[in-house]
Structure 1
């Protein structure tokens, strides 16, 4: 038996409950993992509330990330062994698999060996954030030295990952945050500049920082009305990646900025490459090198136990965190 966090109806954090379920036996190309730590993601909050890319099949599991130890191997699994320490990466549907559990069956294409230098909690905090940022900024966007990257919602784990990756390739990350409370820590985490929405004009600050050139790239999880403002501060032929929908308001297309500047708008999720073995391996290698060199360092905001899963989701929805929320088993 295993404790598994599930929801039997969509809604707020309170719909999450721990169910005692009989363990599944891994089928071909699957492994059973004893979970040590789980990384929480905004996508799971949206899935739980019924506002995600796919509709949950109730009662639904959830969870994209974890660190753990392999306990059983399904057929066809030859490059992992029982006892291996591994990490789960987002490369599956939560209607089929989920990591919010003491033990979970996971498809083998969604696991990688845990980096030796990381604790279980750190290892549960790396793959969603760094792969999401790598896929857009490096694999697709080809962000390079001398370019300027604008990062809204910069205190999220993915926002911090984008800042670190920009620094790794020699670009200039500009963080955008709602209040001044997180400005100092964003600078400590590598942002070259921080724009505070409540007291500063984004357009004015980007003009000053870039010498009137505008941003080369935007990495936006918010969308909504602010997309037009972001388009206005872009330079010629800039790319805007939209990888989330945190704003509850409609997103109007900034037509005139797009036409005038030749902007590229790119809807994006990491799933477009995590199921492509070759591209995924490139991302994993980039991240492993960054971790080894010290360019990439996961930031853990707060840790909860699995019994506190409701409180963990409540904390995520409070938007107080800087970095990754971790749940231990």
Structure 2
């Protein structure tokens, strides 16, 4: 028997339980992994709360990211071996696979031998945030050297990843955050400038930072009423990539600005990258290179032991973190 994180109804972090379940067995094209660390994301929080767009099937497991060692391989798996140190790319639905537990099964296409320089905690942190940011900024928006990119909710793990990827391609990341409390941590994380959205005029600051030109790429997980400022701050021909809806309030839209600025507002989710083999391989190679060359670094805000997984989810939802929340799994 092994312990796995499960829940029997949707709700807050308190619905999570550590339960003993039979050891899983890898099937065709699957890998059995003894985990060492688990990465938390807003996706798990929304799934647990019943607000993810995919309904859990009870009792439900949870989790997209983990790192650990391979214990066994299912039939047909090549390129991997027992004992390999690996991490898991979110390239599956949580209704098909869940990886927040001590012993888990994952599809082989989602299992990556990560750079040896990474700790278990770092390896459990990199794929969701860096591939999400890569997909929106590079694959979809084609962010180029010399351009300015706006990054709302910049202190999240994906926001930090977006800052790093922007710098990696030679662009200028401007971080948006609600208050100035996180200004210095975001500058330390690589932001070229920080705008506190509840304290400053976002549109005026963007004009100042871009000599009145506006920005061509905006990478937004928030939506809601703040979308109006993003549209106003966009340059003609800009692309606004929406990859979340942290604010569920209706988003006002200046149709005239969208029309006459020729804006593209593009909904995006990670899986259009990770479920496409060619795009997934390109993304993984990009992230590997960035990690190996030191352009990309996992920024971990806090770690919690597996027994404190409920506290880890509470910390994630409190919104005060800068970087990733990770759960460690004892041997």
Give the TM-score normalised by the residue count of structure 1. 0.99
- Structure 2 residues without counterparts, runs of 5 or longer: none
Tell me how far 1:253 sits from its aligned partner: 3.2
Please give the secondary structure, in 2, of the residue aligned with 1:57.
coil
Aligned-partner Cα distance in 1 for 2:257–2:90: 34
1:242 is aligned to 242
**Is 1:259–2:234 an aligned residue pair?**
no
Partner residue of 2:130? Answer: 130
Q: Residues of 2 paired with 1:55 and 1:211: CA distance? A: 46
Q: Aligned pair 1:304/2:315, yes or no?
A: no
Q: Is the 8 A contact 1:67 1:114 kept in 2?
A: no
Shift of 1:161: 0.5
Q: Deviations over 1:160-219 (max 9, x none)?
A: 100000001111100001111110010011100000112211011000000000011100
Aligned equivalents of 1:8, 1:251: Cα separation in 2: 33
- SS of the aligned residue for 2:91 comes to coil
Distance in 1 (CA, whole Å) between partners of 2:254 and 2:241 is: 14
Contact 2:2 2:20 in 1 (8 A): yes
Secondary structure of the equivalent of 2:154?
Answer: coil
- State the match for 1:224 in structure 2: 224
Deviation at 1:251, TM superposition (A): 2.4
2:99 aligned with 1:99, yes or no? yes
Q: Which residue of 2 aligns with 1:25?
A: 25
Write the distance in 2 (CA, Å) between the matches of 1:245 and 1:94.
19
**Counterpart contact for 2:183–2:194, Cα < 8 Å:** yes
SS of residue matched to 1:285: helix
User: 1:79: how far off?
Assistant: 1.2
- CA RMSD across the alignment: 0.8
* Corresponding position: 1:203 with 2:203: yes
Give SS of 2:105's match.
strand
For the pair 1:13 / 2:19, whether they are aligned, the reply is no
Pair 1:285 & 2:285 matched: yes
Other-structure match for 2:111: 111
The CA distance in 1 between the partners of 2:122 and 2:17, in whole Å, is 25
What is the count of residue pairs matched by the alignment? 329
Partner of 1:60: 60
Aligned to 1:318: 318
Displacement of 1:254 in angstroms is 3.1
Equivalent residue of 1:14, what SS?
Answer: helix
Residue 252 of structure 1: how far off its partner (Å): 3.2
**Is 2:189 the partner of 1:189?**
yes
CA contact (8 A) 2:24 2:103 kept: no
Q: For each residue in 1:232-266, what CA deviation from the matched residue of structure 2 results, as whole angstroms up to 9, or x when unmatched?
A: 10000000000001002122333121012000011
Partner of 1:47: 47
> Contact conserved, 1:173 with 1:193, CA < 8 A, in 2?
yes
CA distance in 2, matches of 1:322, 1:299: 8
Equivalent in the alignment of 1:178: 178
Hey, what's the Cα distance between the residues in 1 that align with 2:218 and 2:263? 11
Correspondence 1:133-144 to 2 at 5 A: 133-144=133-144
SS at match of 1:31: strand
The equivalent residue for 1:166 is: 166
Distance 2:151 2:254 in 1: 18
What is aligned with 1:150? 150
What's the secondary structure of 1:163's corresponding residue? helix
Question: Shift in Å at residue 274 of structure 1?
Answer: 0.4
TM-score (norm 2): 0.98
Task: Please report how far the alpha carbon of residue 112 of structure 1 lies from its aligned counterpart in structure 2 after TM superposition.
Answer: 0.6
